[in-house]
C-alpha cells in the first residue's frame, strides 16, 4: 500500500526546519535545498509544498505573524484586568520584540524583507497590520473607544502620531536587542518600553488637540 502522508504534519515539520535554518544561519541561508536537508527530505518532496525560496520566506513571515497573534491571544486571556493599563499594553507590545530565542528567530525571518531579491506581494499589508496593532495599543493607553478600522489612518492626529512613534520605538529597540544584546538585554528593553508607554499615557492625560 502507498504510504499515507499527513500533510499538516509535514508542513509543521517543514516549518520547524525552516525556523532552525533561520535561527542558526539567518534568512539569507534559506533555500529549497537547505530547508529540505534540515527536514530530512528530498528537494522534490519539499517542492510539493513550496516551489521557490520566496514561497518559503513568505511562509516564515506567515508563521511569525501567527505566533505573535497566538501569544497576544494568550496574554488577553491571562492578564489581570485590574493591572495598570501600561502593564496590560506592555504585555501585548512586547510580543513583537525579540525577547527570547523563539522571537529572535521570528525577527530574523523579518530581516528577509530587506533582501532586494525577496519579493513578498503582501509586505505592505503586513506593515499595515502591524500599524493597526500600535493604533489599538495607543488608543487603550488614551482610554479611547475601540477603533472602527485600525488599519486606516485615523482622523485623530494625536493618536496617529503616537502610534507612529510607538511603532518606530519598538522596531528600534528590537534592532538593538539583536545587534547589541550585552547592553540592551530583554530586561532593559522591557523597562524602556514600559517607560515609553507610560509617557504616552501621561501625554494623553494632559489632553489632546484633536484639531
CA–centroid distance for 20 within its chain = 18
Q: Report pLDDT digits (tens) over 169-201.
A: 999 999 999 999 999 999 999 999 999 999 999
For the chain, list residues with pLDDT below 70: 1-5, 205-211
Tell me which residue has cell 550585552. 182
For residues 45 and 17, is the Cβ–Cβ distance under 8 A? no
Distance, CA of 26 to CA of 108 (rounded, Å): 6
pTM of the predicted model as reported, rounded to 2 decimal places: 0.86
DSSP code of residue 145 = P
Amino acid at each position: 500500500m502507498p504510504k499515507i502522508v499527513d500533510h499538516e504534519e509535514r508542513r509543521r515539520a517543514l516549518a520547524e526546519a525552516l525556523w532552525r535554518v533561520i535561527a542558526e544561519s539567518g534568512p539569507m541561508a534559506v533555500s529549497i535545498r537547505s530547508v529540505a536537508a534540515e527536514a530530512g527530505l528530498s528537494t522534490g518532496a519539499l517542492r510539493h509544498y513550496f516551489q521557490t525560496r520566496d514561497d518559503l520566506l513568505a511562509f516564515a513571515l506567515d508563521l511569525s505573524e501567527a505566533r505573535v497573534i497566538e501569544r497576544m491571544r494568550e496574554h488577553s486571556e491571562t492578564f489581570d484586568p485590574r493591572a495598570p493599563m501600561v502593564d496590560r499594553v506592555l504585555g501585548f507590545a512586547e510580543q513583537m520584540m525579540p525577547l527570547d530565542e523563539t522571537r529572535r528567530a521570528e525577527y530574523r525571518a523579518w530581516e528577509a524583507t530587506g533582501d532586494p531579491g525577496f519579493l513578498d506581494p503582501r509586505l505592505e499589508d503586513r506593515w499595515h497590520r502591524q500599524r493597526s496593532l500600535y493604533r489599538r495599543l495607543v488608543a487603550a493607553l488614551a482610554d479611547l473607544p475601540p477603533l472602527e478600522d485600525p488599519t486606516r489612518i485615523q482622523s485623530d492626529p494625536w493618536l496617529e502620531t503616537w502610534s507612529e512613534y510607538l511603532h518606530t520605538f519598538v522596531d528600534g529597540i528590537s534592532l538593538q536587542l539583536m545587534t547589541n544584546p550585552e547592553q540592551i538585554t530583554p530586561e532593559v528593553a522591557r523597562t524602556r518600553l514600559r517607560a515609553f508607554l507610560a509617557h504616552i499615557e501621561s501625554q494623553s492625560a494632559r489632553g489632546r488637540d484633536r484639531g
